Amino acid sequence: MLWPLPLEDVDPVAVHAGDERRSRHGRPWVVTNMIATVDGSAADAAGRSGGLGSSADRAVFRALRAVADVIVAGATTVAVEDYGPSRPAASIARDRRARGQQPAPRIAVVSTALGLDPGARLFREAPPDARPIVLTTEAADPARRRALESVAEVRAVGTDRVDWHRALDALVELTGATVVLCEGGPLTVGQLVVDDLVDEMCVTVAPQLLAGPGPRIAHGPASTPARPLVLDRVLCEDGFLFLRYLRDRTGS
Ligand SMILES: NC(=O)c1ccc[n+]([C@@H]2O[C@H](COP(=O)([O-])OP(=O)(O)OC[C@H]3O[C@@H](n4cnc5c(N)ncnc54)[C@H](OP(=O)(O)O)[C@@H]3O)[C@@H](O)[C@H]2O)c1
């Protein structure tokens, strides 16, 4: 650990589990976890984020999943990264139970087009008592919605785009979530920034230069004003930096 105290051999699971995450806004705490190259690309040359990571990055990824009640991702990320149900290690599931959480976080996918395949492993391999959640809109195609309702909890939380405040309310109603982890992609994170819903931003800086057309970790319309952050922690391994920022709400 480089900041706030230089420490050797930090366990990311223990460090992230020890953080306080209490939203004061009558909604769940929202944390995002994203990786980018030093020159800012959030996707590798193949258009995925997997090629940017390392074993330490995967450890931080698992550590953040370990504290989340729900993992939210955009439909593109779920398809490109071939999401399946989250299956934490036995020790993590045990610690979650001890904290009063479900043994594994639920996965929630955001989509209006509902091009999700009901036969995809995300749905096929999910436990029947923890089916994935699909957050969609009233504009969604009724036949696609019906097909997904046989494998997921589907909620319309917006007219033509998901309203993130309503989406968080739906996650609370379905799961009692107090911590929601958004794993991207950039278009999804960008909306959370604009709606000022990001309480904690975890960013991995991968020691690579890539150039190319890859998106930034948050993309889309700009937030006005910019959202101030305070640096909470920096971990480092193998040249990767793991930055934890908190939304600075002192002025709001
Ligand atoms: N660097 C990282 O840490 C990281 C993390 C995740 C992903 N990625 C990369 O990012 C890329 C994908 O990200 P992306 O930004 O293009 O897409 P994305 O955010 O994963 O997904 C966008 C899709 O999500 C749905 N969506 C998002 N917001 C919505 C809303 N408010 N209402 C309704 N639907 C909504 C829409 O799906 P429909 O079209 O189905 O309506 C939209 O097309 C991939 O290359 C992936 O590998 C990188």
Q: For the chain, which residues score pLDDT lower than 70? A: none
Q: What is the C-alpha separation between 31 and 174, in angstroms, rounded? A: 19
> Which among 71, 112, 189 is the best mutation to test ligand 1's pocket, defined by most ligand atoms within 8 Å of the CB?
112
pLDDT tens track for 127-175: 999 999 999 999 999 999 999 999 999 999 999 999 999 999 999 999 9
0.95 exceeded by pTM: yes
Q: How far, in Å, is the centroid of ligand 1 from the Cα of 91?
A: 31
Ligand 1 proximity of 115 Cβ (cutoff 6 Å): yes
Q: What is the C-alpha separation between 34 and 26, in angstroms, rounded? A: 25
Domains, the chain: 25-218+226-247 (3.40.430.10)
pLDDT, residue 157, reads 98
The atom number, within ligand 1, closest to the CA of 161 reads: 32
**Could you tell me if 134 and 111 are in contact, meaning their C-beta atoms sit under 8 angstroms apart?**
yes
The atom number, within ligand 1, closest to the CA of 116 reads: 40
**Residue 8 has which token pair?**
């050797």
Ligand 1 proximity of 166 Cβ (cutoff 6 Å): no
> Which among 181, 188, 197, 210 is the best mutation to test ligand 1's pocket, defined by most ligand atoms within 8 Å of the CB?
188
Q: How far, in Å, is the centroid of ligand 1 from the Cα of 190?
A: 10
Ligand 1 proximity of 212 Cβ (cutoff 6 Å): no
**Residue 40 has which token pair?**
């800012």
Ligand 1 proximity of 204 Cβ (cutoff 6 Å): no
pLDDT, residue 202, reads 98
In the chain, DSSP assigns E strands to 29-37, 70-74, 106-110, 133-136, 153-156, 179-182, 200-206, 229-237, 240-247
pLDDT, residue 50, reads 87
pLDDT, residue 53, reads 95
Mean pLDDT of the chain: 96
